[in-house]
Amino acid sequence: MFVCVSRIPWASSGKIDRRKLRNLSVKIDWTKAPNEYRPPRRPLNATEHTIQRICAEVLDTTAEDINLDMGFFGMGGDSIRVMQLVSCARRSGLPITVRQDDVAEVLPATEVQAFSATRPQNYWFLELTGALDYDRLKLACSDLVQRHAILRTVLVPDAKHILQVVLHRLPPSIVECETDNSDLFAYARTLSQIDSASQVLYGMPPLAFTLIRHHRYHHMMILRLSHARYDGLSIPILMADLLTLYEQRPIEDAVTFAAYTRYCTRSHTDEAYGFWRDLLHGASMTSPSGTDISKLVMRSDTHLVEVEARAPLPSPPPDITMATIIKAAWSMVQARLLRNTSDLVFGQLVSGRNNLSEAGLENVVGPCLNRVPVRVQLPQIGDDKDDEPVSALLRCLQDQHAASLAFETVPLHSIVARCTSWSDGETDFGSIVHHRQVQEQPILQSGSLEYRVDAWSPVSLPEMNIWVTSLINETKEHLKQNIYTRSKVATAAWLNLLIGKLYIILRAFYKKGFIVTV
């Protein structure tokens, strides 16, 4: 049966808004329909009742509107909602499967993916200057999605786990618009802020493209992307691949993120668990806020608390990285504020791309990041080693990091479960350190196009951790420090105290070198 409508409702993604169409159908007076119309068949047993309820939930309609004699796609379903249908059905005990024609692979999400999937999606901006062939660019976007399987991956909740469902194909959403605003970055941020209010975290592909035209030689491409599909090292790869595909130059096949995760699983050997077991023997998690984070409950009324500072940039000794200097300074801050605490355990964010023995894995697109433990045992107050210089601490931390590289992909929950006797409350770090190298955004050339990359992200609350981040500024003269957490974990006054202590220690490193004592 066909029904005329005055207009087709469109969603912000540029696709037909099926929900609004279904709402329009509810308002139709079916008593005036032709004799051929048959109302939806009612369920005959408990199983059909369950199927009707699940279909209504996935299609965002009422159970009465679900016709059990009609196909799922005929009622407005699509390949993404099929994944949600399967997940809901399995949770209800129904063994529904999906045709292999639609799905390339199903595998568990990584720990970082499961966490990132709960966070708002981010927006990456690619400013393009030069004559642009819009049809070729849209084709390149489609080829990019087909090239990298992680961009065709949908995350679906399944009982207590999150699944990666990799689709064989996923036609990308590409929306085009025009503007008279010459500041395309500002215009792109405005569009992104509007779009962020309607993000869907699960069951839908987060990737979407928006092409903004200012004039024939000035353009902007927005990529909406969840951190569950990429990390910082993935972005340059994606941008370079997009432009290579646009220029129709040859390009080698990409390694899939599924291949990376399978490699990591194989590397989680007895040797790996033995390393973490030896490192953490007799240790416990350290909370720099003085609060037992295991007793804190996630609440929606909490907000982000954040403080910033700028410290002079110390010169690392030979064979010592800046990340090691930051970890040493953070260790000293905690030891001085938490009296009688000299054995510390906190987290470090690592790339997950080190010591990979299989070719191509280091250039995979996907969220390879991981959080691993750092243990620091400082001299006790009054110990005869009380005047030990910080250079010894740096050497110890650098050696620990070098030894951990081969085992840095082991997820934290596995380390806690298999390598410690910690209680259920000690399953996350009190603080996590993340040092980043400066990310310069120069104007780059690709064929006849110049391009520049930038980004905007909605506010994202961390879990019950205090995050300590550092970034070397563009002139490489200062170290930008940032400490943030939830208001439930610590106050702004406490974070200011922490960052003040951190600044004092880093300034001492800068002025006196590393002969200062721990």
DSSP string across 424-472: TT-SS-SEEEEEE-------EEETTEEEEEEEE------SS-EEEEEEE
Give CA–CA dist 61/26, Å, rounded. Answer: 10
Give CA–CA dist 112/350, Å, rounded. Answer: 11
- From 507, 514, 499, 512, select the one nearest 313 (Cα to Cα): 507
Pair 369, 391 in one domain: yes
Indicate if the pLDDT at residue 299 is higher than 70.
no
In the DSSP assignment, the letter for residue 288 is: T
Dihedral (CA of 234, 237, 240, 245) sign: negative
Scan for tokens 């961009």, then name that residue.
Answer: 151
Mean pLDDT, the chain, integer: 84
Instruction: State the DSSP string of 164-205.
Output: EEEES--PPPEEEEE-S-S-HHHHHHHHHHHHHTT---SSS-
Pair 155, 221 in one domain: yes
Could you list the residue range(s) of the whole structural domain that residue 85 is in? 18-102
Classified as helix, coil or strand, 229 is: coil
Given pLDDT bands bounded at 50, 70 and 90, which one contains residue 430?
Answer: very high
In a domain, 518, yes or no: no
Contact 442, 453 (CB under 8 A): no
| pLDDT tens digits, one per residue of 78-88 | 666 776 777 77
Pair 97, 116 in one domain: no
In a domain, 399, yes or no: yes
In a domain, 486, yes or no: yes
Top pLDDT among 133 and 357 is at 133
Distances (CA, A) of 253 to 67, 149, 241, 385: 44, 11, 11, 56
Given pLDDT bands bounded at 50, 70 and 90, which one contains residue 518?
Answer: low
Contact 232, 435 (CB under 8 A): no
In a domain, 455, yes or no: no
| pLDDT tens digits, one per residue of 341-374 | 789 999 999 999 998 888 889 899 999 999 999 9
Q: Which residue, of 70, 102, 134, is where some domain finishes?
A: 102
Pair 162, 82 in one domain: no
pLDDT at residue 386 in the model: 46
| pLDDT tens digits, one per residue of 194-233 | 999 888 887 777 899 999 999 889 999 999 999 999 999 9
Pair 308, 337 in one domain: yes
**What is the pTM for the complete model shown?**
0.78
